[in-house]
Amino acid sequence: MVPKFYIGDIVELKKQHPCGSKQWEITRLGVDIKIKCLGCEHQVMLPRVKFEKSVKKIIQSKQDTKQCTL
């Protein structure tokens, strides 16, 4: 099963960024995915297939934080 990603999700990648951070925020979804490093705010655009292979885990999902209050 392929995990679903949402804009604003925080993910941990397998490889560390040169600044030392492994955490990235998803800022754009589509065929290409744009992510922003949470350490130095550098932005990178990757093909979806490469991004999905690089993700180690989803740290915080925007889908989980949405609560319906009645």
Name residues whose C-beta falls within 8 Å of residue 2's C-beta, 6 or more positions apart in sequence. Answer: 52
What's the chain's average pLDDT? 87
pLDDT of residue 56: 93
Give me the pLDDT at residue 52, please: 92
**What are 27-57's pLDDT values in tens digits?**
999 999 999 999 999 999 999 999 999 999 9
Evaluate if residue 69 carries a pLDDT over 70. Answer: no
CA distance 58 to 12: 6
pTM equals 0.81
Summarize the confidence of residues 1-13 as an average pLDDT. 85
